[in-house]
Amino acid sequence: MLKELAFFNEIVSKLLEIEENEPVVKPIPTDAVIQNLDLGFEDEPMDESNWKEVVENAVMNTPRTASKLFFNQLFGGRQPKAVLGDLLAVILNNSMYTYKVAGPQAGIEKSIIKKSCELVGYKNGDGTMPPGGSMSNFMGLVMARDAKDASASTQGVTKRMTLYTSKTSHYSTPKNAAFGGIGRENVRYIKNNAVGQMDTDDLVHRIEQDLEAGFTPFYVNATAGTTVLGAFDDCNAIADVCEKYDLWLHVDGAYCGAVIFSDNYKHLVAGSERSDSFSYNAHKMLGTPLSSSIFLTKHKAQLVKSFSNDAEYLYQTDADDFDLGKTSIQCGRRNDALKLWTLWKSVGNNGLEDIVDNQFHLAQYAREYVRNNPNYTEYGIADSVSICFNYKNIPAKTICTVLYEKATAMVGYGQFGEDEFIRLVTVNATNGETEIKKFFEVLEATGEELVTQSV
């Protein structure tokens, strides 16, 4: 094992050095990647030196999502203390379903859940750490289904149940509706207002329609940070509707739910304490390695009802509250808590607040750059860490693709209404103003080349 760790240190050191000068790796076409990098398998073992070369090539040709010019997805950067926690979790190799095998690691997860519930405003709440935001949303949906129809988990879904989410919400909702026995056709997509929030008037209209048609409305999925605009649904307004019609309110904060750590920005999820469940991804705004997702609920008893199952061969100690498998959708589950804990313990509550605040600072810096340059057209909204714009009317897809293919920057594009635009996200809190300025310099240089070529 020590020999492998030495090789690990060697390859990581080389990667970090290369990243400084080559923050974006040139992509290998899909029809060549397996052959070019020797990713397939042979009957006989590889020579040690050849094995090292193959492993290194695979690492060095992988997209550098922690580099200074990665703005493509809703994660990025590299928090060293969190990386250490993740590496230790791999070495320890605990599974998180029982206290017997997880020990203090179960206590770490319980501490994260307890403090997170306090920040959301849940008294005596509970939760778990699923493998990503999609699964967090699924857990909220399943709990809502079971709370509305207690027989669904034993006899199956027998009612025509309907759920509600905005047109710009995460794509996991229709998948989860299928998984949960609700059906994709029973998802109602609610209109957005001009700033990307769920339109509560349309929500009420659709609920009333379904009630008249004999359906059973049961669940509303609100979003704290939509995937394109980064908009925050009005939790208080939606909670008013849910309370009136007795619907479960889940707040999908995978992208931006971590604003609960910031005194300056937690107002963006005001009313979340009135929700039934809430989720956020530490691997997004807080910068932990993938994945570290937190699912919370104020209904501890329902969490157990929906996800517990007796298993004498597993639960062999008197530690119900620390047998985390009883409130999880999984049995075998990797330790996704330690990486967040090592970061959180190192910087404290105030440090996590600084991480969140810095992203909004960088977003505002980028937004002002766009607004003060006549070559840019802004499409985004305020109070968002997604900055949406176009440069010199060049199609967003065109310039983003060229940046990727030339290995100069990684940034994505999105659409709201009839507008398509570049979407720059500032969730990499290890960046500063220098890196944002560098991004615009790279973008503009590529844009000028495209303009020249089109003349």
pLDDT along the chain (455 residues), means of 10: 96 96 95 97 97 98 94 92 98 94 97 98 97 97 98 94 98 97 98 97 98 98 98 98 98 98 98 98 97 97 90 63 90 95 98 98 98 97 97 97 96 96 94 96 97 83
Residue 357 phi/psi, 5-degree rounding, is: -60, -35
CB 341 within 8 A of CB 108: yes
User: 């006989």: which residue's tokens?
Assistant: 44
Where are the chain's structural domains?
2-65, 93-340
Nearest to 140 by CA among 111, 169, 168, 102: 169
pLDDT at 402: 97
* pLDDT computed for residue 311 by the predictor: 57
For the chain, what's the residue count?
Answer: 455
99 and 57 Cβ atoms separated by less than 8 Å: no
Q: How far apart are CA 383 and CA 394, in angstroms?
A: 26
CA dist 235 and 203 (Å) reads: 13
Give the N- to C-terminal CA distance of the chain in Å, as an integer. Answer: 59
Backbone angles phi, psi at 188, to 5 degrees: -105, 120
> What confidence score (pLDDT) does residue 408 get?
95
Q: How high is the pLDDT of residue 356?
A: 98
In the prediction, which pLDDT does 429 show?
80
Residue 88 near residue 259, CB atoms below 8 Å: no
Q: How many CA atoms lie within 13 A of 147 on its CB side?
A: 24
Fold (topology level) of 93-340: Aspartate Aminotransferase; domain 2 (3.40.640)
SS (H, E, C) the chain: CHHHHHHHHHHHHHHHHHHHHCCCCCCCCCCCHHHHCCCCCCCCCCCHHHHHHHHHHHHHCCCCCCCCCEECCCCCCCCHHHHHHHHHHHHHCCCCCCHHHHCHHHHHHHHHHHHHHHHHCCCCCEEECCCCHHHHHHHHHHHHHHHHCCCHHHHCCCCCEEEEEECCCCCHHHHHHHHCCCCHHHEEEECECCCCCECHHHHHHHHHHHHHCCCEEEEEEEEECCCCCCCECCHHHHHHHHHHHCCEEEEEECCCHHHHHCCCCHHHHCCHHHCCEEEEECCCCCCCCCCCEEEEECCHHHHHHHHCCCCCCCCCCCCHHHCHHHHCCCCCCCCCCHHHHHHHHHHHHHHHHHHHHHHHHHHHHHHHHHHCCCCEEECCCCCCCEEEEEECCCCHHHHHHHHHHCCCCEEEEEEECCEEEEEEECCCCCCCHHHHHHHHHHHHHHHHHHHHHHC
